[in-house]
Amino acid sequence: MPIALITGANRGIGYALAHELGRRGITILIGARDEQRGAAAADALHAEGIAAEPIHLDMERPQTFAAAAHTIAERYGVLDMLINNAGIMIESESWNVNTAATIPMDVLHRTFQVNFFGPVELVQVLLPLLERSGDARIVNISTILSSLELHATPGSNTYETKTFGYNSSKTALNAFTVHLAHALRSRGIRVIGIHPGWVKTELGGKGALIEADAAARMIADTIVAPDPPTGVVLFRGKPLPW
């Protein structure tokens, strides 16, 4: 049975994706920064017959990464899928405030730690386990708000949504997707960025358009496909503008 680790899987899109992949026969490691919330999510999945266990992972505390890798190595000896899903948008209550000229530096650093530096470091720590898979996938959950082309195009549907810290951390994550795919291209590991849509979660906020379950089905269809592309950022299977 393939093994997938999802960061930030105790709620939101991460939990919905854990449920969807678990339903498809994948063993789920629920990455969670709060161990009780991780255990509760794993229990809820067990109740539905899904193989799941919690793994303590805090993207702001990279010292948790080595312990997680050790646990995965001991229990499974391999990792088939890493889904960098944990993410934060903490600079504003509103998506309509341009924070480029005002964002406090500690908020910008924290945003980049969770959304960018954390995933980069976690990949480095877990790479030996992913290499043992033979057909591993690293999935970086991005956003349409990462697209510089759309941000630079007046009238695009994201033109007014200038939450600078969040948006630029995801632009950096896209760069990681492209560079990492190139680095791993001959090592049997694909790297896929995905925009999940505007999803009804705490982060998505009021006005979001789709349920987390629907986003999870779309993500799962892309990442479990037999021959998915690598070094791309997709939405509903099609490339997002850079």
Ligand X SMILES: NC(=O)c1ccc[n+]([C@@H]2O[C@H](COP(=O)([O-])OP(=O)(O)OC[C@H]3O[C@@H](n4cnc5c(N)ncnc54)[C@H](OP(=O)(O)O)[C@@H]3O)[C@@H](O)[C@H]2O)c1
Residues near ligand X (CB under 6 A): 7-8, 10-14, 33-34, 37, 57-60, 85-88, 114, 141, 143, 195-196, 198-199, 201-204, 208
3-state secondary structure 10-50: CCHHHHHHHHHHHHCCCEEEEEECCHHHHHHHHHHHHCCCC
* CA separation for the pair 238, 20 (Å, rounded): 21
Tell me which residue has tokens 């999510």: 41
Least distance CB 47 / ligand X (angstroms): 19
* CA separation for the pair 31, 59 (Å, rounded): 10
Residue whose CB is less far from ligand X, 136 or 139: 139
Sign of CA dihedral 35, 36, 40, 46: positive
Q: What is the DSSP letter of 146?
A: G
Least distance CB 209 / ligand X (angstroms): 8
Least distance CB 186 / ligand X (angstroms): 28
Residue whose CB is less far from ligand X, 130 or 212: 212
Least distance CB 102 / ligand X (angstroms): 21
Residue whose CB is less far from ligand X, 39 or 132: 39
* CA separation for the pair 102, 235 (Å, rounded): 30
Residue whose CB is less far from ligand X, 205 or 229: 205
Least distance CB 24 / ligand X (angstroms): 19
Least distance CB 143 / ligand X (angstroms): 4
What is the number of other CB atoms lying within 10 angstroms of the CB of residue 178?
16
Least distance CB 59 / ligand X (angstroms): 4
* CA separation for the pair 203, 224 (Å, rounded): 25
Residue whose CB is less far from ligand X, 2 or 204: 204
Residue whose CB is less far from ligand X, 76 or 235: 235
* CA separation for the pair 131, 150 (Å, rounded): 35
Residue whose CB is less far from ligand X, 67 or 135: 67
Residue 35: both structure tokens together: 């161990």
**Taking the C-alpha atoms of 167, 114, 4 and 75 in order, what is their torsion angle to the nearest 10 degrees?**
170
